[in-house]
Chain A
Amino acid sequence: MSEATALVVLAMSLAAAITRTRWAPDWAIAVGGALILVALGVISVTGARHALASFGPTIGFLAALLVLGDACRRSGLFEALGSTMAIASHGRPIRLLALVFAAAAGTTAVLSLDATVVLLTPIVFATAAGLRVSSRPQVYACSHLANTASLLLPVSNLTNLLAFHASRLSFTRFGALMALPWLAGLAIEWIVLTRAFRSELQPTAAQAPAPEAPRPLPRFALVVLALTLVGFAVSSAIRIAPAWVAALAALVMIARERPRPGEIVLAAQPAFLAFVLALAVIVTAASTHGLSSAVASLLPHGSSLLALMAIAVVSAVLANLVNNLPATLIVLPVVATSGAGPVLAMLIGVNVGPNVTYVGSLATLLWRRIVHAHDETVDVAEFVRLGALTVAPALVACTLCLWLALRVV
């Protein structure tokens, strides 16, 4: 009974997040659901408090990163990236794609997939339009790399951030272990996308229009980001939580960009932070009442290559069904007991896997198809075909590279 109640609350919270109805905001449903679970005794007050305490620091880290990303947007970083790509591409589509790969991989790794999806993709779309080249390969690259390139660092994806604490890895070791899988993922994306879009990537006969006045890259923001990365790397050596480095970087950028206090709060997305915390409590409640043992029965134990592959595949399937955020919360407690290798294999699954659909999960895709049934929408068949072409080899190659890295690094 308790398990069923927790699962119903979880399903309602996810449904609210996917459908985004105005009268039932996802954060309110999730927070209300979590409170009901506590009131009904499905999860004890101590249990809920423990879950909040264990995810609290991660939420603080996330808030700092969100504010940092927003301050980078204010500094004009993404417009400048668009302008730089337009000039450096010389109007050649394949060159532009290489630049988009670099920009998307870098943005995702350092500022998280949210920044690539929300801030970089519209800029890339406008850049391709301004150069009068097909935006199809460029936008596909952004969409795919937001997921695939989010393997590298704990800050590259919220899933990584959630798993980082449980993995008991230092920031540097996390990055060192994931560097090879990250590069393997990027290589597979490049091979598949350049082949799939080879006709769109032919050099054009048309003269590209003269680019608009170049916008210089904001040096201050770039220096802050570089120093932030250095800070993350040395944080474990000097025993400071990397969240403090992110907080300091966010403060420096706030001092520079001077957003209004209300804008800072908005950038930190308090409703989203509340949603994640409430979801963590709900999943903990469901996990203690049987969800964990159900997931554990699907997953092998240990860090053998086959075990890592199985974890990556199961995580990818789960992420595709619901979304990678709940998938991570569900799988994490099960794999965390087996050490860092299985946790990182899970991240390969939940990060790379969602490329099968363009909206993160089948649930969201189905909902969008219902809502936008009469609109011209994405050619789902084309996206799913390309998704399958990249996800299957990427899961195998990334996991293989992780297995190697676990032995060498």
Chain B
Amino acid sequence: MRAVIWIAEETWQACVRHARELVPEQADVTLLHVAPSDVEELAAAGPAGLLGRRRPPHERDLRTVSDEEARQLLDAARIQLGRDCSTVARRGRVEREVVAACADADLLVAARDGERSLGPKSLGPRARFIVDHAPCTVVLVWAQEPPGITTIPPLPAPHHKRH
């Protein structure tokens, strides 16, 4: 069995915690981080709009910063998982890269990335895409304590008959 655990900035601890409980011991585990290349490009593309200005000397390349962060995050996740695993750092459109990394996987552990209430808004656009397109079983965890059942909106009140 091959399991992929999606390591994202806001939600990785919950994914690793649940993976420790749910993923079988003999499974081949991969920790996956995807750097959003579009944000990097957005940060780097700004000077292109400054017509005629000299290109800035980038003291720290944005790519280096983001690679370093990914490495640290994956290291922290591996330590918390506490078992043998491989790590993969990808870059690109996050949701598509996660799905692509699951091409040969049997199981994906991912976290909800939306609002903390029961309902469709608990999935952000990225998790929504991953749940809809993952070619394997998906274990979908809450990043924090799951919200109570009371967060489901009540049924609409029945119409009162007027006498």
Contacts and interface: CB of A to CB of B under 8 A. Distances in A.
A206 B51 CA distance: 41
A18 B50 contact: no
B10 A133 contact: yes
A359 B36 contact: no
Interface of A: 14, 17-18, 26-27, 93, 113-114, 117-119, 121-122, 124-126, 129-130, 132-136, 139-140, 142-143, 146, 198-200, 202, 204-207, 209, 266, 269, 271-272, 275-276, 279, 323, 325-326, 354, 357-361, 364, 368, 372, 375-379, 382-383
B47 A17 contact: no
Contacts of A126: 60, 62, 65
B78 interface: no
Interface in B60-84: 60, 62, 65-66, 68-69, 72-73
Given A140-B42, A377-B38, A323 B62 contact: no
A195 to B, nearest CB: 12
A199 B54 CA distance: 37
Q: How large is the interface on B (under 10, 10 to 19, 20 to 34, 35 or more residues)?
A: 35 or more
Contacts, number: 152
B114 A199 contact: yes
Contacts of B48: 359-360, 364, 368
Contact of B52 (A26, A202, A354): A26
Contact of B42 (A114, A269, A383): A383
Contact of A118 (B13, B14, B50): B50
A204 B49 CA distance: 34
A364 B49 contact: yes
A377 B115 contact: no
Nearest to B44: A122
A125 B46 contact: no
Contact of B49 (A117, A122, A132): A117
Interface of B: 9-14, 36-43, 45-54, 56, 58-60, 62, 65-66, 68-69, 72-73, 91-93, 113-116, 124, 143-144
Shortest Cβ-Cβ A-B pairs, 9 listed? A360-B49, A199-B124, A117-B46, A129-B69, A376-B37, A275-B52, A118-B56, A359-B49, A204-B10
Contacts of A139: 39, 42-43
B36 A136 contact: yes
B143 A325 contact: no
A71 B60 CA distance: 18
Given A204-B143, A205-B144, A376-B38, A325 B52 contact: yes
A93 B72 CA distance: 19
B69 A376 contact: no
A209 to B, nearest CB: 8
Given A132-B69, A378-B45, A269 B54 contact: yes
